[in-house]
């Protein structure tokens, strides 16, 4: 059986602890052991951070277009290996192969975007208030970035963070989710291969480091390490709060992408077939395990009963199974723990005043499904906005259906949670659509589209409890990975005092 390693200072090596953990296929738990991965400790983190710190002195001096060339090659290698990456990702975390192909493609798109950003990284200039003086500004790299990523997008999310960090001239220590170490290993292998090919004799060890292990150990060590300048984290609100507190005290720059309780509104004038396709994809794609998953459906009262009936018919037809097999719509939950969390929310829902479980609500254990952590797609109706199943992130195939009176009521319900990541409204009335764009409190709003499907070159992130105001993706992420330097060049040959000599 294959034993995998950390990657520190340009070398693959075991954790100094010697400890390892198993990585297994969530659809075939007992029969498919993927490999053993290091369970690292503070010492591994320290070695990685020291290597990254050392490498920063050289990497920041490589011209940004050349750093971009590395990422261009990373994108090429990922494209060549797309099928293999997707297959292994499905094996490791369960979502169906069409989705893991999409996840990989999002990484490729991010690589090419970052590659071209190496030739932009624009700064501004502005006229000076004094004669014979020039004012410029530059984006400067910051230092060592600690990257902590979740298991639901094992390729896309790490690339959203690592590629911009690198092209801006930072170095990286990467802690992937414990449940998806294999995809992370492949990503780091590819980055290192591209570094060696593009830089040749100028290769710098330590620009990218990989430390596998638990959040409570490795993540905590990132937090307390004085030489980690930035932390980018995607995961739970609870952990995000802690990172912000400790990181804030240490004046680390912190980017947080946290929970969501995303809703899709369907108005009485909508295209219902389209809205149905969208909610199925939004709620049950990735087995509901997306930050952007549709976990609330808000239906206009006039169409509520008709829509729910059609929805249940469609949900009955969803095929569960191992995502690398043909014609599977929904894979397993990522782990036994995750399935238990989902089930505990279903129990909460059943006990909440007058919420009705319409379909699902139990483990799926028929035939081959008994080998994995499958859960039946679940729908609750008669859900009230303040119920826990309408407020808390479940991260599983559970949809809560609520009824609204009109557009305003629908938007109020949608806005009535602590989160604000993604949102959607189905309407054919252009006035309603524009009002929704204005009034919905979310980082992402889809008109006549599902709550999932963000593109790599657009800002990604949320308002309120979903984050701390940064955005990944597109041009916006470059604000996080650089710091501005203002430069004044005085060619007058004399001391010119701003604000004083000229007024």
- Nearest to ligand UN1 of 41, 262 (CB atom): 262
User: Would you count residue 470 as binding ligand UN1 (CB under 6 A)?
Assistant: no
Site for ligand UN1 in 49-108 (CB under 6 A): 106
The contacts of residue 238 (CB under 8 Å, 6+ apart) are: none
Evaluated on CA atoms 262, 268, 271, 277, the torsion sign reads: positive
CA 344 to chain centre: 25
- Nearest to ligand UN1 of 162, 452 (CB atom): 452
Q: Name the catalytic one among 50, 291, 333, 404.
A: 291
SS3 at position 85: helix
How far, in Å, CA of 124 to CA of 137, rounded?
A: 6
User: H-helix or E-strand containing 294?
Assistant: strand 294-300
Site for ligand UN1 in 98-117 (CB under 6 A): 106
- Nearest to ligand UN1 of 79, 137 (CB atom): 79
- Nearest to ligand UN1 of 47, 278 (CB atom): 278
The dihedral region occupied by 406, where left means phi > 0, alpha psi between -120 and 50, and beta the remainder, is beta
User: H-helix or E-strand containing 191?
Assistant: helix 181-199
Shortest distance (Å) from residue 452 CB to ligand UN1: 3
Shortest distance (Å) from residue 290 CB to ligand UN1: 3
Per-residue binding letters, 123-152, with ligand UN1 (x by CB under 6 A)? -----------------------------x
- Nearest to ligand UN1 of 228, 258 (CB atom): 258
Options 268-276, 377-385, 447-455, 462-470: segment touching ligand UN1 (CB under 6 A): 447-455
Strand order in the sheet with 422-426: 356-359, 378-381, 398-404, 294-300, 262-266, 422-426, 444-447
Site for ligand UN1 in 153-172 (CB under 6 A): 153, 156
Strand 253-257 with 11-13, pairing = unpaired
Per-residue binding letters, 209-248, with ligand UN1 (x by CB under 6 A)? ----------------------------------------
Shortest distance (Å) from residue 312 CB to ligand UN1: 24
Please choose, from the candidates 278, 184, 290, the residue with its C-alpha nearest in 3D space to the C-alpha of residue 235: 290
Shortest distance (Å) from residue 206 CB to ligand UN1: 29
256 contacts 168 by C-beta, under 8 angstroms: no
Shortest distance (Å) from residue 107 CB to ligand UN1: 11
- Nearest to ligand UN1 of 209, 294 (CB atom): 294
Options 38-46, 286-294, 315-323, 387-395: segment touching ligand UN1 (CB under 6 A): 286-294
Options 264-272, 288-296, 333-341, 396-404: segment touching ligand UN1 (CB under 6 A): 288-296
User: Would you count residue 454 as binding ligand UN1 (CB under 6 A)?
Assistant: yes
> Long-range contacts for 77-81 (Cβ within 8 Å, ≥24 apart)?
77/190, 77/193, 77/194, 78/104, 78/107, 78/108, 78/111, 78/190, 79/108, 81/186, 81/190
Helix 97-117 to helix 82-93 angle (10° resolution) is 120
Q: Name the catalytic one among 88, 99, 106, 257.
A: 257
- Nearest to ligand UN1 of 152, 171 (CB atom): 152
CA 352 to chain centre: 31
Shortest distance (Å) from residue 456 CB to ligand UN1: 8
The dihedral region occupied by 73, where left means phi > 0, alpha psi between -120 and 50, and beta the remainder, is alpha
Using CB under 6 A, count the residues that bind ligand UN1: 10
Shortest distance (Å) from residue 158 CB to ligand UN1: 12
- Nearest to ligand UN1 of 123, 449 (CB atom): 449
- Nearest to ligand UN1 of 53, 290 (CB atom): 290
How far, in Å, CA of 413 to CA of 356, rounded?
A: 19
Options 9-17, 129-137, 287-295, 388-396: segment touching ligand UN1 (CB under 6 A): 287-295
DSSP string, 153-185: STTHHHHHHHHHHHHTT-EEEEE--TT-HHHHH
DSSP 368: G
- Nearest to ligand UN1 of 55, 452 (CB atom): 452
257 is catalytic: yes
User: Would you count residue 290 as binding ligand UN1 (CB under 6 A)?
Assistant: yes
Q: Which of 291, 346, 383, 413 binds ligand UN1 (CB under 6 A)?
A: 291
CB atoms within 10 A of CB 45: 27
Shortest distance (Å) from residue 449 CB to ligand UN1: 10
How far, in Å, CA of 144 to CA of 465, rounded?
A: 26
Beta bridge partners of 422: 444
Site for ligand UN1 in 405-424 (CB under 6 A): none
Q: Which of 144, 223, 452, 477 binds ligand UN1 (CB under 6 A)?
A: 452
Angle at the Cα of 292 (from 291 to 298), degrees rounded to 5? 125
Residue 378 phi/psi, 5-degree rounding, is: -125, 135
Q: Which of 65, 449, 453, 459 binds ligand UN1 (CB under 6 A)?
A: 453
How far, in Å, CA of 149 to CA of 130, rounded?
A: 48
137 contacts 489 by C-beta, under 8 angstroms: no
User: Where do contacts with ligand UN1 occur on this chain (CB under 6 A)?
Assistant: 106, 152-153, 156, 290-292, 452-454
Catalytically active residues, by annotation: 257, 291
């Amino acid at each position: 059986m294959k034993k995998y390693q950390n990657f520190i200072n340009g070398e693959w090596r075991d954790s100094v602890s010697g400890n390892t953990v198993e990585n297994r296929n969530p659809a075939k738990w007992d029969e498919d052991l993927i490999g053993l991965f290091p369970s690292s400790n503070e010492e591994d983190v320290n070695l990685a951070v020291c290597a990254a710190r050392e490498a920063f002195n050289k990497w920041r001096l490589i011209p940004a277009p050349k750093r971009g060339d590395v990422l261009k090659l990373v994108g090429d290698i990922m494209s060549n290996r797309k099928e293999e990456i997707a297959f292994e990702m499905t094996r490791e975390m369960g979502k169906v192969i069409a989705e893991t192909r999409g996840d990989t493609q999002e990484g490729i798109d991010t690589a090419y975007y970052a590659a071209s950003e190496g030739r932009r990284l624009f700064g501004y200039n502005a006229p000076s208030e004094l004669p014979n003086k020039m004012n410029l500004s530059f984006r400067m790299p910051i230092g060592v970035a600690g990257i902590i990523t979740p298991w639901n997008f094992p390729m896309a999310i790490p690339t959203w963070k690592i590629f911009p960090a690198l092209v801006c001239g930072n170095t990286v220590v990467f802690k992937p989710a414990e449940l998806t170490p294999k995809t992370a290993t492949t990503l780091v292998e590819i980055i290192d291969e591209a570094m060696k090919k593009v830089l040749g004799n100028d290769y710098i060890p330590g620009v990218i480091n990989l430390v596998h292990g638990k959040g409570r150990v490795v993540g905590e060590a990132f937090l307390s390490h004085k030489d980690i300048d930035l932390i980018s984290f995607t995961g739970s609100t609870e952990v995000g709060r802690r990172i912000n507190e400790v990181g804030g005290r240490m004046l680390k720059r912190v980017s947080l992408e946290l929970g969501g309780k995303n809703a899709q509104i369907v108005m009485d004038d909508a295209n219902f077939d389209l809205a149905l396709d969208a909610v199925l994809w939004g709620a049950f794609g990735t087995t509901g395990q997306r930050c952007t998953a549709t976990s609330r459906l808000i239906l206009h009262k006039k169409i509520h009963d008709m829509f729910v009936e059609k929805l249940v018919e469609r949900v009955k037809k969803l095929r569960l199974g191992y995502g690398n097999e043909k014609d599977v719509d929904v894979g397993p939950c990522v782990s036994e723990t995750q399935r238990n969390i989902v089930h505990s929310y279903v129990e909460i829902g059943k006990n909440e005043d007058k919420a009705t479980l319409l379909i699902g609500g139990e483990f799926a254990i028929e035939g081959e499904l008994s080998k994995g952590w499958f859960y039946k797609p679940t729908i609750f109706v008669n859900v009230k906005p303040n119920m826990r199943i309408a407020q808390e992130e479940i991260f599983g195939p559970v949809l809560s259906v609520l009824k609204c009176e009109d557009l305003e009521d629908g938007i109020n319900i949608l806005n009535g949670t602590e989160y604000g990541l993604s949102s959607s409204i189905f309407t054919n009335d252009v006035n309603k659509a524009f009002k929704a764009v204005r009034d919905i409190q979310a980082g992402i709003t889809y008109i006549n589209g599902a709550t999932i499907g963000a593109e790599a070159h657009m800002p990604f992130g949320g308002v309120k409890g979903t984050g701390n105001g940064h955005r990944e993706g597109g041009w916006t992420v470059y604000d996080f990975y650089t710091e501005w330097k203002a430069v004044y060049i005085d060619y007058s040959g004399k001391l010119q005092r701003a604000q004083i000599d000229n007024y």
